A and B are shown apart, each in its own frame.
Chain A
């Protein structure tokens, strides 16, 4: 009974390690030369000034706050 418990523990540890490895940055990273799509203008959430202003207005009306959109634009993470 105890050995089965140990076996289950080892299997659970192994599964967690494998899943963790699969989700690690080494497996999921987009390499620097593959970021052309990220630099495309269509990835820029602020590419339409009128749409951005409307979104900001809605946000202000609903949240009674504005600003705080510190990260803007798309980009390839160059330099």
Chain B
């Protein structure tokens, strides 16, 4: 005997699960999670710098995002200040077109690596909460700090504090 409750459960449970699903197939990457592999994302642009065993700052940006434009000079200063300490900055552009990406690159001339996530494979895997968002990844490839948005000096200070802390950590044993 199938009761009304059983029938209702069969119908309502899948609907509730569907409604609760986020807009992508992935969950948002958060501190403590492993950062997705760059190699499988099919990124175009500059050749990927070596990130294995290094502290890496990933920044997701787009040419149509005003705070992203404001963030590039700050990242350039961070890059020049920490390049000798082993920090690697990878800026991941999510523009729909290569022309928009290239025009932005030509205008900003960043001193750090910039790649184009044309198919949105990496950004969809990371599920950034806003544009721009940066992720600080430790030497073992684990996300240790996430910064949503760009807020000028405040962002600069927070990133430098976290970068200093990560660079001070001992590298994992080989």
Give the interface of A toward B (CB within 8 A): 6-7, 9-11, 13-14, 17-18, 20-21, 24, 26-27, 29, 31-36, 39-40, 76-79
Give the CA-CA distance A33 to B94 in the complex, in Å: 6
A-chain residues with CB within 8 Å of residue B22 when the two chains form the complex: 26
- Closest chain B residue, CB of each to CB of A27: B23
Give the CA-CA distance A57 to B24 in the complex, in Å: 45
A-chain residues with CB within 8 Å of residue B21 when the two chains form the complex: 26
A-chain residues with CB within 8 Å of residue B127 when the two chains form the complex: 31
Point out which of A9, A33, A39 has the most chain B C-beta atoms below 10 A from its C-beta: A33
Q: A26-B21, A33-B120, A36-B95 are in contact. Are A10 and B128 (CB under 8 A)?
A: no
Instruction: Identify B130's interface contact among A17, A24, A26, A79, CB under 8 A.
Output: A79
B130:A77 contact, CB within 8 angstroms: yes
Give the CA-CA distance A11 to B150 in the complex, in Å: 48
- B170 within 8 Å of A (CB atoms): no
Which one of B47-55, B64-72, B81-89, B159-167 is at the A interface? B64-72
A-chain residues with CB within 8 Å of residue B100 when the two chains form the complex: 36
- Closest chain B residue, CB of each to CB of A12: B11
CB distance from A36 to the nearest CB of B (A): 4
Give the CA-CA distance A58 to B129 in the complex, in Å: 40
B11:A39 contact, CB within 8 angstroms: no
